[in-house]
């Protein structure tokens, strides 16, 4: 019995998130079905995260145990021959027996893309948030630094979550205008963990600060309140990418 980890990428616009849901197309259900077909085994898979409907992944890790002895270098090729075009496997490695894609994770990095132009781009539909009003990347980056550190992020979590411990440590955070396409702003954030809708609320808060609806420099006071109503709106899922998984 081997414990394997496969790294995949997917365009989340055609999925109702990662986790299996009856009657709905999810990344887990599609991947698991294909994996069983390739390995000829009933193989339950463990995902590193529970991405929501419409959220994408540049690097998503899946672990599972199998008795099949297919070489690791050949498994991504076999999977990609059967996976739909909006999912692709790009690496497989054998991992220690106690490795768990979710619980062994030490942190994650998310990326959020904003198309900042007066005109829509149909080729970025469902892959970036279209925001037509001018944005100052330098201003947004300066404000985003207030997310750094260990805080109770209750104000940046969906109100209906059942998670009790809402303390997270953000180790990297920033906003820049991409040099190869000046129309696109990129928000990146790295932490030891994330709450439900946390990144999308972080982005919505920065956008509302840019629009003058929230006071500049107010992120520390919003965090201190622990009140979801004090933070910004929840930005659309289309611009969000799980970018890196840290083990």
Token reading at 215: 């006071």
| Partner residues linked to 99 by β-bridges | none
Beta strands in the chain (DSSP E): 2-10, 46-47, 56-66, 87-94, 107-115, 129-130, 149-152, 167-177, 184-191, 240-246
Token reading at 95: 């991992």
Token reading at 36: 């069983």
Catalytic residue among 52, 121, 146, 192: 52
Number of H helices, E strands in the chain: 5, 10
CA pair distance 173, 143, nearest whole angstrom: 10
Among the listed residues 95, 62, 56, 96, the one whose alpha carbon sits nearest the alpha carbon of residue 76: 62
| Partner residues linked to 108 by β-bridges | 191, 245
Annotation says 86 is catalytic: no
Give me the DSSP letters along 223-238. HHHT-GGGS-----GG
Residues identified as active-site: 52
């Amino acid at each position: 019995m081997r414990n394997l980890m496969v790294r995949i990428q997917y365009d989340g616009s055609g999925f109702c998130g990662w986790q299996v849901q009856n009657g709905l197309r999810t990344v887990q259900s599609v991947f698991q079905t294909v994996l069983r077909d390739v390995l000829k085994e009933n193989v339950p898979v463990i995902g590193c995260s529970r991405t929501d409907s419409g959220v994408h992944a540049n690097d998503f890790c899946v672990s599972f145990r199998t008795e099949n002895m297919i070489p690791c270098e050949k498994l991504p090729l076999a999977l990609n021959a059967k996976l739909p075009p909006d999912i692709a496997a790009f690496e497989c490695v054998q991992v220690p027996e106690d490795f768990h894609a979710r619980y062994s994770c030490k942190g994650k990095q998310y990326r959020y893309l904003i198309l900042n132009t007066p005109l829509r781009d149909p080729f970025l539909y469902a892959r970036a948030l279209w925001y037509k009003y001018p944005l100052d990347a330098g201003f947004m980056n300066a404000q985003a630094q207030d997310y750094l550190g260990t805080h109770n992020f209750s104000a940046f979590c969906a109100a209906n979550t059942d998670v009790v411990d809402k303390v997270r440590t953000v180790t990297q955070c920033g906003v820049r205008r991409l040099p190869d396409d000046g129309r696109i702003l990129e928000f990146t954030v790295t932490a030891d963990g994330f709450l439900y809708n946390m990144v999308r609320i972080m982005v919505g808060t920065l956008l509302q600060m840019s629009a003058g609806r929230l006071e500049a420099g107010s992120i520390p006071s919003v965090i201190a309140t622990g009140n979801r109503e004090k933070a910004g709106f929840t930005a659309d899922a289309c611009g969000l990418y799980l970018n890196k998984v840290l083990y």
